[in-house]
Structure 1
């Protein structure tokens, strides 16, 4: 029996449980179709021995330090949120050093799904390659990583780099990749085993939710939304946003009312609060640190605003998900 193809999955904080399940299901179906263990999967947590999903479920995983690059055939990163800069640096450096130490010759396939391609691009692992990335950060990725050709398609397979955008795109990616390795008939049988009757091509664009589509019809509104998303810790004034995108404040408000059915200030606040909610569920930062990182000037201000919007306090939010928290001295004395 041939040695199984080794697949190592690196789970980033807040990764999609759907994406993980889809990946494991594809390889399980491939093994079933072949009648032997073609693919063997190991999973590693980017920040310890526990991997926290987007929905707050904690899964067991090996520490990243235990990853043996000399035994890996496919290395794939999974993320569904914008990756924290510290995590991106740690994981990226680990990849670069690990591949170098193993005398990497290009035989290892390196992949990413969701937002994870940003880590590969940040550390030069996608230089000169085509890549797909989650539609929410596509525009930012194109600007930040000009030596990588990011596309709006569902997925990209470029030599030994594979990548998928949001959601179910990873299924299409892996089925096409299996087709390249084992032929059309094999991939079709795997797809049938998963209940799929059609494979989408890489040239198909990622579907964008209706709530996000209005911005595509207004370049200035799109710029305003990007400015807000990039300035959560130090929120911009509405006048500053309007000036930066080249409209008056009244025109900016008109754009938000027309396309988003809200006001700029309301949208901006909701954006910061929802980001704070994800941080409370997915990180061990103190509640005060989360509040400050989302533009709130004090603990009580953050707690009151959070409770008014969600109906419970940040402390209650964290308790609901049984997340351990790092408490610095005197950091949370004023948090209610």
Structure 2
């Protein structure tokens, strides 16, 4: 096997995290999965995680929006001393047989294997989720369940089962990785990371969405989880209802009764709040933020943002 190129060593106390990105991966999902690890180290003023970007080759990898991320080395050359391998992919089709075999080689005891969005489906296709509780993107749940009956699939936004972590993508990755930070470094640091991202609290997979009373119908809780997991590629109200197994009219009644809102408006508000956090907490261009929050164009994003907050994304950055 070729030797990996030399790279700056990670601090002795840092966990080494390989971040595999494959062509067509989601920028939002990748950012939501890696930013909590980076922020945890900044807040702790200690080297907690050392990220190593991996790709099919040591070249830039294009995301779904066309933005590139430079891979330090190929997955074949990935260091053998990784503590965690995080896979960001558009789906199982993103990897050839050689790459899937390498994933299996790297799934050694003691190493965390993390599937984000389509990366979770890729892990399923490689046989790495058999016997584990896991989740995949909502749109692929039924297909994966039929193709891989040995996986204990759930409809939760994310799942952590022993050495396997999976989520449906999008902001679900944020919750999943902050939960991991809490397990590895304590709840106090996890809460500080959560506060950094202006979230109410770190949510675990079994809990309802924040702000909802305990008696909230399960269908509404799952609808909100679906929305949070699909920020970059929003679902229509009809698609939400179909995933939940209820009619569109039933879903609209639930939102009106418990949230005094219509699903489409609530979903838009959720996406715009996420966009506002990205504009305030990151240096990503407004065009990237638009793509990461499900807007088809910068102009559409700017109009919706101004109508909601009373100022444009550019003015938000300057305020």
Matches within 5 A, 1:42-191: 42-46=52-56, 49-61=59-71, 62-68=73-79, 70-79=80-89, 81-84=90-93, 87-99=95-107, 104=108, 106-191=109-194
Q: Does 1:14 align with 2:41?
A: no
Candidates 227, 230, 239, aligned match of 1:212: 239
1:32 aligns with 2:42: yes
Cα 1:213/1:98, change in 2 over 3 Å: closer
Cα deviation, 1:20-40, whole Å, max 9, x if unaligned, reads: 222231111110121111110
Q: Quick check: 2:86–2:114 contact (8 Å CA) kept in 1?
A: yes
Q: Residues 183 and 51 of structure 1: is their aligned pair in 2 closer, same or farther, counting only changes over 3 Å? A: same
State the aligned residue count. Answer: 211
Q: Equivalents in 1 of 2:145, 2:192: separation in Å? A: 36
Q: Which has the larger radius of gyration?
A: 1
Cα pair distance change 1:143/1:48, threshold 3 Å = farther
Measured against aligned partners, the alpha-carbon deviations of 1:223-278 in whole angstroms (never above 9, x if no partner) come to xxxxxxxxxxxxxxxxxxxxxxxxxxxxxxxxxxxxxxxxxxxxxxxxxxxxxxxx
Q: How far 1:124 sits from its partner (Å)?
A: 2.0
The alignment's C-alpha RMSD in Å is: 2.1
* Residues 176/92 of structure 1: CA separation in 2 closer, same or farther (3 Å cut): same
Query: TM (normalized to structure 2)?
Result: 0.62
Q: Which runs of 5 or more residues in structure 2 are unaligned?
A: 1-10, 209-221, 228-234, 247-319
Map Cα deviations across residues 294-326 of structure 1 (whole Å, 9 max, x no partner). Answer: xxxxxxxxxxxxxxxxxxxxxxxxxxxxxxxxx
SS for the counterpart of 1:120 is: helix
- Map residues 140-289 of structure 1 onto 2, 5 A cutoff: 140-203=143-206, 204=208, 205=222, 206-208=225-227, 209=235, 210-216=237-243
Q: TM-score, normalised by structure 1?
A: 0.59
